[in-house]
Amino acid sequence: MLRILLFVLLFFNLSCNNTSNTYEENWIDLFNGKDLTDWTPKFVGQELGVNYMNRFQVNNSNLALVYAPQDSFKAKFGHLFYKEKFSHYKLKARYRFIGEQQSGGPAWAYRNNGLMLHCQDPKTMHFDQEFPLSLEAQLLGGNGTDERPTANLCTPHTHVSFGPRLEKTHCINSSSKTYHGDDWYEAEVIVLGDSLIQHLMDDQVVIEYTKPIIDVSELGETKFVDGAAITEGYISIQAETAPMEFASIQLLDLCGCMDQKAKNYKSYFVKHDKNKCSY
């Protein structure tokens, strides 16, 4: 009788632990705080993998975009791509703008970088292509005086919809407040394939849109299909003449095994991938 009771208690504890584990979020640190492992740069006029002028660095455990005082603008926009692509996920980045802007750059690039979502594979970018086909969660820093919202949307080689309306305006402001100074802030995005994308600041949705599609009008010769839905892609960080740092970049994958019998089932998954199931 005692043996049966112990078995029941053990089974109950295991069941409780499994139930608890299904709710525990497994955030991935995309940046390891030590080096640029798992990230690949692509700059205008440079081969994939060339870290032009050592723009992307790790300083004091932060991923830094570095522009020296003697730097001057040469139209060498760049992007740093994470190794994997994702379709459904949450992304959080803790960032700050620091230092002086690179001289001679475009006025719109002042304290302006971004998190590029649903990017094309960097291997498919043209040698002189300035921006990847993507959806940009634009990060803007204030100038100390004027209103300048952040977590805006820009659409290089893409269009999105707001409700039933297809929007072709390249950059659209969010409803966020202005973030002046060199303080640390956290931006978040929620990406659900092509059904919904939200940008958040201070845990508040400041812009949301749906149905991103490809626009090939400025891509030149391409294998992309004009008007095709964008349901997944790579994540990259922009380098647009503004020095800044990232203390952390974390991702919660929302695509996984949704079979409750699997050991790695998570209640927060929204897209099922049977290939990820472990029993």
d(CA 70, CA 102): 8
Closest CA to 36 of 246, 243, 183, 233: 246
d(CA 52, CA 78): 8
- pLDDT confidence of residue 18: 52
Q: Per-residue confidence of the chain (279 residues) as pLDDT tens digits?
A: 544 433 433 333 444 445 568 999 999 999 999 999 999 999 999 999 999 999 999 999 999 999 976 788 888 999 999 999 999 999 999 999 998 899 888 999 999 999 999 999 999 999 999 999 999 999 999 999 999 999 999 999 999 999 999 999 999 999 999 999 999 999 999 999 999 999 999 999 999 999 999 999 999 878 899 999 999 999 999 999 999 999 999 999 999 999 999 999 999 999 999 999 999
Closest CA to 22 of 263, 273, 276: 263
> Which tokens belong to 34?
């030590």
- Does this model's pTM top 0.85? My answer is yes
The three-point CA angle 212-219-42 to 5° equals 90
Dihedral (C-alpha) 66, 67, 69, 73: value to the nearest 10 degrees? 180
User: Domains (ranges, CATH) in the chain?
Assistant: 24-276 (2.60.120.560)
Closest CA to 107 of 68, 161, 66, 143: 143
